[in-house]
Amino acid sequence: MDIGEATRKRILELCNQHNITLNRMATLSGITQSTLNNIISGRNNSTTISTIKKICDGLDIHIRDFFSSALFEALEQELK
């Protein structure tokens, strides 16, 4: 799994944990729904830390909590 896929899965996981839709997450985070949809669909494979921080702020979690997931423990090395 690469970082883009792990990030997508983590965002969906957080939506499920907080019982919210992607639209609601976008609203809470102050990011556009199209940005979030592009991340989830894989059209955006390089989500910025700034966007992840906005998601965390919207959910009232620390950025370390975002990355504190088994999804990020066994990432493939990316040398592109």
pLDDT, tens digit, for every residue of 52-67?
Answer: 999 999 999 999 999 9
Average pLDDT estimate for 6-14: 96
Local confidence band at 1 (pLDDT 50, 70, 90 cut-offs):
confident
At 12, list the tokens.
């969906």
Domains belonging to the chain, first-starting first, are: 3-72 (1.10.260.40)
Which pLDDT value is given to residue 28?
Answer: 97
pLDDT higher than threshold 90 for residue 31:
yes
pTM: 0.90
Query: What is the DSSP secondary-structure string of 1-58?
Result: --HHHHHHHHHHHHHHHTT--HHHHHHHHT--HHHHHHHHHTS-----HHHHHHHHHH
pLDDT higher than threshold 90 for residue 2:
no
